[in-house]
Amino acid sequence: NAGVTQTPKFQVLKTGQSMTLQCAQDMNHEYMSWYRQDPGMGLRLIHYSVGAGITDQGEVPNGYNVSRSTTEDFPLRLLSAAPSQTSVYFCASSYSPETANYGYTFGSGTRLTVV
Amino acid sequence: AQKITQTQPGMFVQEKEAVTLDCTYDTSDPSYGLFWYKQPSSGEMIFLIYQGSYDQQNATEGRYSLNFQKARKSANLVISASQLGDSAMYFCAMREGAYGGYNKLIFGAGTRLAVHP
């Protein structure tokens, strides 16, 4: 099914470990974003990309890296996990040049716990 | 800077009644888009409705309508004939540039709606 696929769905990390959250979309969307969701704070933008090879920082980028080597994939890397990064992470994509549809599609989320 | 404010942390409504969820926004960009998303307990983000800043009419999608008051910078979501399945968290969000532009969708803190039988 077309959409945004996030893996893994759940992950437990120890403080200091690194990992990559995967995000892939098959809708030829140009824009991709990563958000984190914490209780009482809605979703906050971590990093975003307006196309392959182009990324930029959002509201809360510290401790995270991204790259966009292809249109389809936008992985989020945690360099050295900290308990403050315990959160639910959402990947979202938007804008299809073919349809001029600017709607956002969200992945199902990754629940990350750092102990 | 953009800002989205949802002042109602929680709301409840009787089944079959209408409910309004408040959202105010702040932006200096004349071109922007406003979104409402629903997040049920299962966690996925479900798109409900969109309003562009230049749209002349208020957006409607089935039982959802957006009460867009541009001068007041408010974009309240109205749910008519509430159903038990409407119980969820609701987020208001804004993007500067109504037709693309920046890829920054900024969210409010959300309102938790409970529908009582």
State the Rg of chain B over Cα.
14
User: Is pLDDT above 70 for A69?
Assistant: yes
What is the tens place of the pLDDT at every residue in A72-98?
A: 999 999 999 999 999 999 999 988 666
Amino acid at B17: E
pLDDT in tens, B41-55: 999 999 999 998 989
| Separation between Cα atoms, residue A47 and residue B89, nearest integer Å | 24
Q: What is the DSSP letter of A3?
A: S
In A, which residues are within 8 Å of B36 by CB distance? none
What contacts A67, CB < 8 A, 6 or more positions away? A55, A75
The per-residue pLDDT for A42 is 87
HEC sequence for B9-48: CEEEEECCCCEEECCEEECCCCCEEEEEEEECCCCCCEEE
A25/chain B closest Cα distance in angstroms:
16
What's the one-letter identity of residue B2? Answer: Q
Chain B: give the shortest CA distance to residue A28, in Å.
15
N-terminal to C-terminal alpha carbon distance within chain A: 34
Taking alpha carbons only, the member of A47, A45, A25 closest to residue A35 is A45
Instruction: Tell whether B107 lies on the interface with A, counting CB pairs under 8 A.
Output: yes
Task: Say if residue A80 is exposed, middle or buried (CB neighbours under 10 Å; 0-12, 13-18, 19+).
Answer: exposed
HEC profile of A68-111: CCCCCECCEEECCCCHHHCEEEEEEEEEECCCCEEEEEECCCEE
Chain-chain contact of A104 with B35 (C-beta, under 8 angstroms) = yes
User: Does the beta carbon of B108 lie under 8 angstroms from any beta carbon of chain A?
Assistant: yes
pLDDT digits (tens, 9 = 90+) for B1-29: 669 999 999 999 999 999 999 999 999 88
